[in-house]
Amino acid sequence: MRNIRALLHYAWPYKFYLFLSLAMMLLQVFVEFLIPFIMIGIIDEALPAEDLGIVLTRGLYMLGLALIGALAGFVNTYSSQKVAQSASAELRSDLFAKIQTLSFKQIDYYKKSRLITNATNDIQRVQMFFTMLLRIIVRAPLMIVVGLVLAISTSLQLSQIFYITMPLLIISVVVLLIKAYPRFKKVQGALDALNGVVIENANAPQVVKSFVSQPYEKEKFEETNNHYKEVNTAAESILAFAEPLIIFIFNLGIALILVFGALYLNAANPEFFVNGMPRIGLIMAFAQYSQQILIGLMMFAMILIFVSRADVSAQRINEVFAAEDDVYRSEDPVRSAIKGALTFNKVSFKYGEGSADAVHDISFSLNPGESLAIIGSTGSGKTTLTSMIPRLYDATEGEVLLDGVPVKEYDLAYLRDNVGYVTQRAHIFSGSIGLNIAQGSKDSLYEETLEAAKAAALSEYIERQEEGLNSLTTAKGTNLSGGQKQRISMARAFMKKPKVLILDDSTSAVDVATERQIIKSIAAINPKPTLLLITQKITTAKRMDKILVLDNNGHVAGFGSHAELLKTSSVYQEIAQSQIAMGGDSLVNA
């Protein structure tokens, strides 16, 4: 319960509806217990005396109370839903905001599939808890306590049945809880895995279809789905077993009341007679009180099972909230104007303890406005290297400096606002071309957006669209070609007018002429940004001021101009020769 208690404060801002719901719940319980009390007088007094006036009057009282109880139940249901929906919406917003603050390292640790489950299924379970809190959790113990008091005051002797039913119910609930909690934890883990498979397939439909791997992916999904089914079935079997067991104890209590009542009547027990007439009303009232008690106990048992499930979800949510910011932030962050001088000083990085360095002992410098091509084989650490500039990851050893200041000392938002990063895979959001280009820029002007599109060689495409910049884009840009998506991503980076611009192989889907036009547009930006361009093509790399060559182990295998590297770097020579052999232009004399 300590996990779910940590989230209760989300309900407090809606205290009016919270207290209204509790008040209506108390009124409803009061009515439910008052009706049997009125019934005693009708059956044991009015009917034997044949006083139809009392029967009619008290019957109308009971009808009025029933209507009040129904109205109270309606208000209670509405208020509890208001609190539950509002509190869970706030919780979901806070969780989303927290997920946005997680570092890349933390996202790698939690995994996307789990974070999706946290924001959907886990919060849904907590939402159910908020609803039950105001409708059942407080109601159940109240019904038990008030019911016991009234039942004992009605008949002390019939109350002996509780010596049998209550221990049976308590023992059953405890055993069920012990069995249920670990199973619910496994269910959420299995759901994470299921979400992971779905996300993989949703993100790569082209690969699945082009390689005709639907049967394999379906088999993988079925395996994960069956595991989830088995784990969930094992957990739900607890609930399936709990319900008939509780109903059995409930019916056992009713049967014991009838048996004990019959025995006391046969024994002419004075408690069960008034004016020589058996007090059938008393027995019926006691039966109703005991039903209320057993219903309360049944509710309480089911609540504990559902709460244990919600507590598992709350624990997973609290784990994300408890994740400490592992990105170093300076106590006196730098926000001075950035010119773009970039220095890597003996930089190394590894993705985890015990793993090999992704890049090792990298050192080089760039002046403001200079351009650098980074070239190397797949897995040589090119993307890792550039990701340390906007601090998506921090160097394990060494320093990355911008204008002579370690990037760790800059205000993080200010640093990233001055670095344009076009990722290797173009990310397009649903909306429009204009909104995608102006991503995050609330005050962007139409002319600025067009200018950025022009710099990314996107103007011609936009002009062909009837809606221009307002042309709709789908999630992941499924209605765009690869080159169009890349150019929109580049226009988004140009929109920031960054001091450092990183293009992570983001011209791979455009033709040579378009690529040349984009590079010329970057060179024409005033002031010109310091450019780092990751590429696999020597023809592109040779247009940059300098080239950094990385070998397969993430080490520097050459740094300098195209002509210098053809003489001094064997790795660069191999890449150049391989591209010539594949039909490329002659590069040796370029």
Per-residue pLDDT at 151:
75
Among the four given CATH numbers 3.40.50.300, 3.40.50.620, 3.40.50.10320, 3.30.465.10, the one describing domain 338-418+498-590: 3.40.50.300
What does the alpha-carbon distance between residue 203 and residue 206 come to, in Å, rounded to a whole number?
9
Q: Do residues 188 and 316 touch, judged by C-beta distance below 8 A?
A: yes
Phi and psi (nearest 5°) for 165? -70, -40
Tokens 């789908």 belong to: 474
State both tokens at 559: 């740094």
Per-residue pLDDT at 531:
92
User: What kind and span of H or E run contains 483?
Assistant: helix 482-495
Per-residue pLDDT at 179:
76
Q: Between the CA of residue 217 and those of 111, 188, 214, what are the distances in Å? A: 20, 22, 5
Q: Residue ranges of the domains in the chain?
A: 2-321, 338-418+498-590, 429-492
Per-residue pLDDT at 1:
66
Structure confidence by residue, pLDDT tens digits, 483-518: 888 888 888 888 888 899 998 887 776 777 878 888
Residue 58's contacts (CB-CB under 8 Å, 6 or more residues apart) are 38, 41, 42, 46
State both tokens at 113: 């599939």
- Helices marked H in 42-161: 52-101, 104-110, 112-117, 123-132, 139-154
What does the alpha-carbon distance between residue 286 and residue 256 come to, in Å, rounded to a whole number?
12
Which residue(s) pair with 273 in the sheet? 278
Per-residue pLDDT at 188:
76
Residues with pLDDT less than 50, the chain: 586-590
What does the alpha-carbon distance between residue 450 and residue 448 come to, in Å, rounded to a whole number?
5
What does the alpha-carbon distance between residue 378 and residue 506 come to, in Å, rounded to a whole number?
15
DSSP string, 394-450: --SEEEEEETTEEGGGB-HHHHHHTEEEE-SS----SEEHHHHHTTT-TT--HHHHH
DSSP string, 521-568: HHHHSSSPPEEEEE-S-HHHHTTSSEEEEE-TTS-EEEEE-HHHHHHH
Please report, as a single letter, which amino acid is at residue 294: L
Fold of 2-321: ABC transporter transmembrane region fold (1.20.1560)
Tokens 């370029």 belong to: 590
Structure confidence by residue, pLDDT tens digits, 236-254: 777 677 777 777 877 787 7
pTM here is 0.66
Q: Do residues 289 and 147 touch, judged by C-beta distance below 8 A?
A: yes
